[in-house]
Amino acid sequence: MNRFILILLILIIFIGIGTSVYFVYSKEKISKIVQKEIKTEIIPVSPIVRKIKNMSLDEKIGQMLIIGFENKYLDDHVQKMIEQYHIGGINLLGRNVKDKNQIQQLTTDLQKISDTPLFIATDQEGGKVIRFNFLYELTSQIRIKDTQQAEQIALTRARELREIGVNMNFSPVIDYVSDTQSYLYNRTFGVDPNFTGVLGSAMIRGYQKGGIIPVAKHFPGYGNIVVDPHRKEAISSVSNETFNRNLIPFKKILENNLADTIAIMTAHIVLTAIDSKPATLSQKFMTEILRKQMGFDGVIITDDMEMVATRQAIDQAAAEAVKAGVDMIISTYTPVKQILIFNRLKTAVLTGEISEERINESIMRILKLKSLLVSN
- List residues bridging with 217 in a β-sheet: 173
SS3 186: helix
Other CB atoms within 10 Å distance of the CB of residue 100: 14
278: preceding bond cis by omega (within 30 degrees): no
Element holding 263 (H helix, E strand): strand 263-266
Tell me the CA distances in angstroms from 342 to 76, 117, 201, 210, 363, one per residue in order.
18, 19, 34, 33, 15
Q: Which of 303, 304, 315, 327 is catalytic?
A: 303
Element holding 9 (H helix, E strand): helix 2-42
Q: Is 315 a catalytic residue?
A: no
SS3 307: coil
Dist. CA 103–CA 81, nearest whole Å? 19
Q: Which of 77, 109, 192, 230 is catalytic?
A: 230
Backbone angles phi, psi at 305, to 5 degrees: -75, -5
Tell me the CA distances in angstroms from 13 to 4, 18, 21, 27, 94, one per residue in order.
14, 9, 12, 21, 93
Dist. CA 193–CA 211, nearest whole Å? 27
Identity (one letter) of the amino acid at 219?
Answer: F
For the chain, the first-to-last Cα distance in angstroms comes to 88
Q: Per-residue b/e over 287-301, b at no fewer than 16 CB within 10 Å? A: bbbbbeebebebbbb
Dist. CA 356–CA 288, nearest whole Å? 21
Q: Is 77 a catalytic residue?
A: no
SS3 221: coil
Dist. CA 38–CA 51, nearest whole Å? 24
**Burial class (CB within 10 angstroms; exposed 0-12, middle 13-18, buried 19+) of 66:** buried
Catalytic residues: 230, 303
